[in-house]
Every structure is written in C-alpha cells, then in structure tokens.
Chain A
C-alpha cells in the first residue's frame, strides 16, 4: 500500500487522483446516508454533473497539451463560441450536413491554432501575449461574421441528435465525447513519440533541440490541437443547449487553465497528464455541484468555488512536496 501511494505521488496526477477520490467517497457516502437532504446520487444530479464537465473538459485537454509544451492559448474561450457559430451558420445558411459543418468548425479552430503558433514561432513573442491579442481579434471577428445575435441551433437529423444529444441512462452523449477525446489524446500524449517530444520541448527546450527535436514544429502541432479541441467543445456545448451566444465562452480559457493546474500540469511546461486534466475538470464541477446541493448562499457562490479551487491546487502541491 505504501509503495502504491508513493508511486501515485510521483506521478503528476497523483495529487488530483487522491483528492478527487477522497471527495467522491465522502460525497457518495453522504448521498447514501442522507438521500433526501443530499441528493448527490439522484440520477438527475449525476446526469447534469456529467453533462456539465464535458465542454470544459474537452477544451482543457487541448489547453493542457499545449501547456505541457510550455505555451498558452488564451483565445480558446472565444474560439469555443466562434467555431460553434461557424458550424451553426454552415447548417442554417448554407444547408450543409451537420457532420460536415462540425468538421468545418473544428478545422477553423485548428487553423486558428496554427496561425497563433506560427506567429509565436516566427516572431518569438510569448504566446500569452500573442493569444491575448488573438482573443480580442476573434471577438471582433465573431461580430463581423455574424453580428451580435445569438444563434439557435436545432437540426432535424435523428442520427445527429442521438450522436450529440442522446443519452444512455444518466450518461449523456457530450460526456461520451469527453471520454473519447480523453482516450484518443491519452494514447497520443503518453504512448506516441510526439507525446514524448511535447514533454521534452516543455521540460527543457534546449535539451530537446540538442537531441535533434524541432521545438517549433512540435509546438505548432500542440497549438493546432488546442484550437481543434476548443472548437469541438463549443459545438458540443451548443448542441446540448440548442443555441450559441457570440461571446459566451469568454472566461472559459482561464477555467481551463485552472483545471489543468489543479490536475497536476506545470504552468511552466514539461509536466502533466490526460487523466489529471480530466479529473481537474471533474473536480471543479463536482465542487460547484456539491456547494449547490449543500445550499451554499447563492450570492457568494463564486467566492466559495474560487476558494476551493485554490485549496485544491495547494493540496496538490503539498502532496507532491512530501516526496
């Protein structure tokens, strides 16, 4: 048991796994012991909890991979909205199939990521600054493209509805997308050689260069992944709620970064894991859910969530330091 715990502590996701499992155990016990007052295990609650994690989770996976290479993309929040709007207008105004429209939306996200990455590479400006500017540019671009009206998105295609909105019991389609994206990028990050290069470039860029890896090319791939994931997260969110707001995603970029850091990613790069990012996202929404179920005062709600997020991050570091 001790070696198992020690092993866990050395992994970057060790802290979040311990924290997440502990909180879930307490919550589930609470739900079993007080089912009427603390309705954690109610199917409706589990359903909404799983649904709520999916969009941010998908976005955070992309943000996290980019963070591992040592870079940031602050425009993922606005891309969440912009790419979803592109998808919606492709269906409504150009009558494309929703699948094709979704693909186009994701391609727009990937292209945006590549543009940001190229600017960062070519002019050696910190990605934080480049993507901060990009965020504002895309914000304006959204208005230019479609004006300030929000867009309804309902497409009468049964297969599409099931794929994006259907459910199996309490598990919603959006959550399955989240898991799928997680699995795919788990294999890419932890089992593919490009994943090894992500870590190398983020951990010690000079070492990577000395060994013959091209950091610029590697980072470019990461930027593309971040943009694509942001776009997918927007489409998934839009399909759930049936509409997209032109600037609804603003602010999610910071939550995504928080999810990654809570999940064990190093802000400076070189460290992190897919399971950590997914659990970090899950923890944020679990905290939100628990507070609401425990009837935390609505007016001060944000304060509670923020405080608990900081606490989670500190616990993470403390657990790791005891190495």
Chain B
C-alpha cells in the first residue's frame, strides 16, 4: 500500500511538473503586440542595417510585431512620429534620444500613456535622470572612449606631450562629444592632448580635410577616429600627408576591416549595432509579456575588434556586424 501511494505521489508530481515544463514562451500567441522601432537617421545610413536586422530577428524570436520608422535626423519629424504612435496606442516604443532636450516631453508623454520606451544607440547624457526612458541599449560612449585610448597608448607607447587627432562626423552631436570625452580622459591622463574636427559623412571630403589637418599638425602622434567616416579614411589620410602614425577608431566598415586585416589600423570599437536592435526588441517584448523590467546594456562592452578577431566581423559584415 505504501509503495503504491509513493508511486502515485511521485507520478503525480512528475506529471504536474512536466505539464508546467511543457509550457514555453512560444506556445503563446504574442502577435497582437505591436512595437515601434524608430531609427533616428535617414534611411540610407548604412550603420543601422545590422541593427534593423537584429530588431527583426528578435521580433521573430519573440513572436511579436514591429514596424520601422526613420527620423531623418529631424527632431520635429521624430516627435510627430511618436505622437502618431501614441495616438495609435502602440504597445511599446524603441527609439533614440540624440538630443538631450528635444525628446524629454514626448517620451514622458508616452510613458504616462502606458507605453514603455526603451532607447537604443544613443542615450540622454544624464541617462535615466534626464529622461523618462526605462532602459538604454547601446554603447556607453565615455567608457569606450577610454578603452580605445588606453589600447592605443599601450600598444604604441604614446607618452606625455603627444598629440592625438580625434576627427568625427559632427562634433556637436552627443555621441561625438561623449566619445571625445572618453578618449580625451584617457589621453590627458597620461599627459597628452587631443583635438576634434568635423568631417561630415562623405568619404572624399573627409579624406581631404583630415589630410590637410595632419599637414598642418605634423606633431600629431596618432589618429583615433570617433565615427565610421573618419575611421574609414584615416589610414589613407595619414599616407597622403606623408606620415607614418598609428590609427584606431570606432565602428565597422569594409575599409576599416580591411585596414585591420592588413595591419594599418590597430583596433576599432564595435558597438554591435545588431545587438542594439536585437536586445531593444527582446527586452521590450519581455516587459510587455511578463512585466520583466528592462535594464541598461553597454553593447560591445569593452571588446575591441582587432587583428585577432577580425575574421568573424568580415564574415558577417552587413548582416549582423
């Protein structure tokens, strides 16, 4: 009798727990969840291709719906897009705060209306204190600036009194100011100096202006690009200026990967745009489904892409890298 009861007890426990174990996230139909994924730039910015791929991959994994909008670097247009989304009662918004003040009101309005907002790619400079957003998935600009600066100092023996050129597309943008702050922290800590210069996004124009800067500043000991455009053309600019100094920088483009492979570029900071899109949607889905609070994530962490790991980047370029 005791044996029978034990068997029955074990069996029912087993059956009960198995039944619980059988229920998975994918057993549920989450297709009525609609999330807005807002890319803050114009459609033709290549950087966001992996990010958008990541967002779609995450949406498929999570079984939710997402739709894409582009803010065209226009604060007014972006505000309008969010207003429309709020009016349409979208379930969640993944967007970018690339101007510290222009979006404070609209983000708080969305959150107050019960629509959670998660940021990807660029955060308010005061993080959660400056904005109603719930979480930020993207690069921690200052921290990564310090990482690349330290790498360049260590690998190339930069010392006190050395001058480092830090060009960027748009010096007044938040990402530029913060990356420069980080790099500058690292360089000035060892007694060097940095200078920032705007290059725009056209590679031909950027190449000209960077070459001319180097010609005017022959004491420059290294170049650390703060964005994909200057980093892509930096090696060529150094050559055309008739100099032989080390180059490092940010982001991934075919030129940058090629330069890492052939040794002319030391390392680049990869903010893993794929992860930004992927995690923004995944965390939003978790929040909407299960109430799991999202958390800040420093995409790319302290990892740099250099000669030791460039092959994977090359293999998946344009898709997830």
Show the binding face of A for B, using Cβ within 8 Å.
39, 42, 44-45, 47-49, 51-52, 55, 139-140, 142-143, 147-150, 152, 237-238, 240-243, 245-249, 251-252, 285, 288-289, 292-295, 297-299, 301-302
Contacts and interface: CB of A to CB of B under 8 A. Distances in A.
Contacts of A148: 43-46, 48-49
B242 A44 contact: yes
B33 interface: no
B240 A44 contact: yes
B207 A241 contact: yes
Given A243-B255, A288-B209, A299-B196, A45 B215 contact: yes
A292 B197 CA distance: 10
A247 B201 contact: yes
A298 B45 CA distance: 25
Contacts, number: 111
A61 B143 CA distance: 47
Contacts of A249: 202
Contacts of B232: 243
Given A148-B43, A150-B253, A302-B198, 5 more contacts: A45-B212, A49-B212, A142-B44, A237-B202, A298-B213
Interface in B180-212: 195-198, 200-205, 207-209, 211-212
A292 B204 contact: no
Given A298-B195, A299-B171, A301-B198, A241 B240 contact: no
A52 B197 CA distance: 17
B202 A44 contact: no
Interface in B142-200: 167, 171, 195-198, 200
B42 interface: yes
B217 interface: yes
A247 to B, nearest CB: 5
Interface of B: 42-46, 48-49, 167, 171, 195-198, 200-205, 207-209, 211-213, 215-218, 232-233, 236, 240-242, 253-255, 318
Given A44-B240, A152-B254, A241 B204 contact: yes
A245 B254 CA distance: 12
A149 B253 CA distance: 10
Contacts of B253: 150
Contacts of A139: 42, 44
Contact of A51 (B171, B200, B208, B254): B208
B246 to A, nearest CB: 19
A126 to B, nearest CB: 24
Contacts of B209: 288, 292
A55 B46 CA distance: 23
B215 A39 contact: yes
Given A240-B204, A248-B203, A289-B212, A298 B44 contact: no
Given A241-B203, A248-B203, A292 B254 contact: no
B240 A48 contact: yes
B195 A39 contact: no
Contacts of B241: 44, 48
Contacts of B318: 149
Which residue, of B46, B197, B212, has the highest number of chain A Cβ atoms within 10 A? B212
